[in-house]
Amino acid sequence: MAVGPASVARPAPLAGRAASRRSLLERESVFSWVMLAPGVLFLLAFVAYPFFYGIFLSMQDRRVASAGTFVGLANFVAQAHDAVFWQVTRNTFVYTIVATLLKMVGGLAMALVINQQFRGRNLARAFLLLPFIVPTVLSTVAWMWILDPTFSVINWSLLHSGLVTQNFSWLGNATLAMVSIIMVNTWRGLPFYGITLLAGLQTISPDLYEAAAIDGASVTQRFRFITLPVLKPILIIVTMFSVIFTFSDFQLPYILTHGGPANATHVFATYAFDIGMSAGVLGMGAAVALAMLPALGALIVALTLYLRRE
Amino acid sequence: MVGGRALGGRILRLYLPLTFFLVAMLFPFYWMAITSIKPNRELYSQRVMPLIVHQPTFKHYVDLFEQTNFLTWTYNTMLIAVVTTVVSLVLGVMIAYPLARLNFPGAAVVAIGVAATYLVPQPLLFIPMADIINRLDLGNTLSAVMLTYPTLLIPFCAWLLMGYFKSVPRELEEAARIDGASRLQAMLRVVLPLCTPGLLSAGIFAFTLAQNEFLYALIFLTKSEVRTVPVGAITELIRGDVFYWGQLMAAALLGSVPVAIIYSFFVDYYVAGLTAGSVKN
């Protein structure tokens, strides 16, 4: 498919030009870049540009509807001297680490339970994944009502079973509010771990377990030497994904607690929103959001390299 | 008593934990549903047993339709989700196909870039994005979210589809090309039809992601007529300290229905999409 013969075969000038344009398109690299161009340009304009513009904004004293002035690293310095910022940092890490551990352990348990043979297994799997597919804001609203200070069904059950004598203020107490957002995040994310790990478990041939059992391996040994090695790569990818999106979570704490009481559940995203959007101090808000970058950047680079290696 | 012990073990290892997971995962939906049909005197009473409905009513649903713009919000949400899903699927295919099947200079850089944009979370971008949308004068238009949602969906679709495109044998495409098909025709008529499950997975996933989006919609859509269901419910059914719980639950339930229906038809594709990135075939 060279250019020459095609244009010789069609002497008419217009058809010739069309043919050579077509054979140009047949070149692997030309075709590839023509296909890529719209999507790549779009992502450059609406992901790469905002990203760098955010860095530019973070070095400005810039409020909504007014021009900004360059202030260098002043926004970051101001944050570093603000106790609330460090509280937000600690909150974000506590939220991410505890919720991730709970989802990991709970998800593994869920996968091991559904991996057994029983009637209605596919149906159970479909139902168990529901929390993950329903829009987060809508299910979090249901949780808000479950955790209502006066009409909480959890409180009602605890009171009426005689386990406690007074209502918990789930979202009004600093510690309980953190417990609550971690609980709801775990509820939502656990099925993601459960179903992906289940898919991993299903790739293990039952023969392998049988052979190991014949060789005298105990249940724990079988789990340790057969199940875990298969699940490890899946667990690494799922966990890194989940950590990235928990660390930068906005919806759930924003709906459930708005960062309260007294900043006890503010995470980077909700705090940046409060400063940048609610108060309209764009530059400072961008700086708070960028404070996520070191931890997030390390994770993103690690996961990108890991995915590429696969 | 071997049978008895086996049954006991099965109850302990399967039925007990399975029941626990099912109840824990599904209770909030049950709660949503019964709250939406409880009259206010049952909702706001600490003396009535709350786990069941004593006198069901559809008043909250009627109020939701009569007193709020819920139908408009639903229309907006669906329109946005469908448009952004289609756009993202098309652009996702156009990115994934060359990356998965062709050799060209710059391929590695683009692949890394797409993976990285897939992983850059929204909260890192929303403040500069708000300023950009403002300067484009797109505030309070559906275009604002239709323009920004694909930034979340395209990298995802591209990433998912690359796996499917790679799995099609090269010989099929080559045979078509020898028969005179152009590269575009080979892609459209040979590779894409074979990747229908992948396209379905990516489409369903993108649709649920678009329905789930909240941050951009919250920032860009501040007028009632342009809002989506999540934003409308949060901003108009919670007024200051007053929560319209019955209507909120009705809105939450109805807002979940489109996703749940699509999901129920295509569970397997959804699960395949979920696991495609994490399980090697």
- State the average pLDDT over residues A109-122: 92
* Distance between CA atoms of residues A155 and A157, nearest Å: 5
Is residue B104 situated within a structural domain?
yes
Is residue B182 situated within a structural domain?
yes
Three-state DSSP state, A232: helix
Asked whether residue B259 falls in the same domain as residue B121, the answer is yes
Pick the residue from chain A with its C-alpha nearest to B17: A113
Asked whether residue A235 falls in the same domain as residue A305, the answer is yes
Q: What pLDDT was estimated at residue A4? A: 41
Query: What Cα–Cα distance (Å) separates residue A238 from each residue in A191, A197, A242, A250, B211?
Result: 11, 9, 6, 20, 22
Q: What pLDDT was estimated at residue A150? A: 85
pLDDT band at A5 (very low <50, low <70, confident <90, very high): very low
Asked whether residue A98 falls in the same domain as residue A18, the answer is no
Asked whether residue A44 falls in the same domain as residue A116, the answer is no
Asked whether residue B85 falls in the same domain as residue B135, the answer is yes
Q: What pLDDT was estimated at residue B269? A: 87
Asked whether residue B52 falls in the same domain as residue B183, the answer is no
Is residue A168 situated within a structural domain?
yes
CA torsion, ordered A127, A133, A135, A139, to nearest 10 deg:
30
Asked whether residue B10 falls in the same domain as residue B116, the answer is no
Is residue B41 situated within a structural domain?
yes
Contact assignment for A32 to B104 by CB distance below 8 Å: yes
Is residue A65 situated within a structural domain?
no
CATH number where A220 lies? 1.10.3720.10
Is residue B187 situated within a structural domain?
yes
- Say if CB A54 and CB B130 are below 8 A apart: no
Q: What pLDDT was estimated at residue A10? A: 46
Q: Which among B30, B208, B256, B234 has a CA at the least distance from the CA of A252?
A: B234
Query: Which residues in A192-210 are b (16+ Cβ under 10 Å) and which e?
Result: bbbbbbbbbbeeeeeeebe
Asked whether residue A51 falls in the same domain as residue A140, the answer is no
Contact assignment for A46 to B121 by CB distance below 8 Å: no
Stated pTM of the model = 0.90
Instruction: Give me A276's structure tokens.
Output: 């940048």
Paired sense of beta strands B242-243 and B238-239, if any: antiparallel
Which residue, of A12, A43, A58, is where some domain finishes?
A: A58
Which residue, of B15, B31, B57, is where some domain finishes?
A: B57
Asked whether residue A242 falls in the same domain as residue A128, the answer is yes
Asked whether residue B183 falls in the same domain as residue B48, the answer is no
- Say if CB A33 and CB B185 are below 8 A apart: no
Determine the distance in angstroms separating the CA of B80 from the nearest CA of chain A, rounded to an integer.
Answer: 15
Asked whether residue B150 falls in the same domain as residue B192, the answer is yes
Asked whether residue B38 falls in the same domain as residue B133, the answer is no
Is residue B36 situated within a structural domain?
yes
Is residue A68 situated within a structural domain?
no
pLDDT of A290 > 70? The answer is yes
Among A33, A43, A161, A242, the residue to mutate for chain B (most B Cβ within 10 A): A43
The rounded mean pLDDT for chain A is: 89
Asked whether residue B18 falls in the same domain as residue B66, the answer is no
Q: What is the DSSP string of B53-83?
A: -SS---HHHHHHHHHS-HHHHHHHHHHHHHH
Is residue A34 situated within a structural domain?
yes
* Distance between CA atoms of residues B179 and A282, nearest Å: 58
Is residue B128 situated within a structural domain?
yes
CATH number where B237 lies? 1.10.3720.10
Q: What pLDDT was estimated at residue B277? A: 57
SS3 for A41-98 is HHHHHHHHHHHHHHHHHHCEECCCCCCCEECCCHHHHHHHCCHHHHHHHHHHHHHHHH
Put simply, whether B235 touches A (Cβ < 8 Å) is: no
Asked whether residue B71 falls in the same domain as residue B135, the answer is yes
Contact assignment for A142 to B132 by CB distance below 8 Å: no
Is residue B90 situated within a structural domain?
yes
Query: What Cα–Cα distance (Å) separates residue A199 from each residue in A152, A186, B181, B271?
Result: 36, 20, 38, 9
Q: What pLDDT was estimated at residue A69? A: 86
In chain B, residues with a C-beta closer than 8 Å to the C-beta of A103 are: none
Asked whether residue A119 falls in the same domain as residue A236, the answer is yes
Query: Which residues in A222-239 are b (16+ Cβ under 10 Å) and which e?
Result: beeebbeebbeebbebbb
Which residue, of A58, A74, A95, is where some domain finishes?
A: A58
Contact assignment for A36 to B229 by CB distance below 8 Å: no
The single residue listed with the structure tokens 């997971």 is B21
Put simply, whether A109 touches B (Cβ < 8 Å) is: yes
- State the average pLDDT over residues A215-237: 88
- State the average pLDDT over residues A184-209: 92
Asked whether residue A133 falls in the same domain as residue A252, the answer is yes
Put simply, whether A93 touches B (Cβ < 8 Å) is: no
Contact assignment for A156 to B50 by CB distance below 8 Å: yes
Asked whether residue A180 falls in the same domain as residue A120, the answer is yes
Is residue B281 situated within a structural domain?
no
Q: Looking at the partner chain, which of B123, B230, B259 has a beta carbon nearest the beta carbon of A272?
A: B123
Instruction: Write down the ipTM of this complex.
Output: 0.91
* Domain count within chain A: 2
Is residue A75 situated within a structural domain?
no
Range of the domain at B103: 60-276
pLDDT band at A66 (very low <50, low <70, confident <90, very high): confident
- State the average pLDDT over residues A256-280: 94
Put simply, whether A268 touches B (Cβ < 8 Å) is: yes
Q: Regarding predicted confidence, which is higher, B2 or A177?
A: A177
pLDDT of A7 > 80? The answer is no
State the helix-helix crossing angle for A121-128 and B267-276, rounded to 10 degrees. 70
pLDDT band at A15 (very low <50, low <70, confident <90, very high): low
* Domain count within chain B: 2
Is residue A274 situated within a structural domain?
yes
Which residue, of B27, B57, B87, is where some domain finishes?
A: B57
A8-22, A157-171, B264-278: range with lowest mean pLDDT: A8-22
Range of the domain at A17: 3-58
Asked whether residue B102 falls in the same domain as residue B152, the answer is yes
Q: What pLDDT was estimated at residue A310? A: 61
Q: Over chain B (281 residues), what is each successive 10-residue block's mean pLDDT? A: 73 92 96 94 85 91 94 96 97 96 92 88 93 92 94 92 90 89 91 93 92 94 94 91 91 93 88 67 35
Q: What pLDDT was estimated at residue A301? A: 85
pLDDT of A11 > 90? The answer is no
Reported as type and span, the H/E element at residue A153 is helix A153-160
Asked whether residue A190 falls in the same domain as residue A256, the answer is yes
Asked whether residue B33 falls in the same domain as residue B69, the answer is no
In chain A, residues with a C-beta closer than 8 Å to the C-beta of B29 are: 130, 134, 139, 142
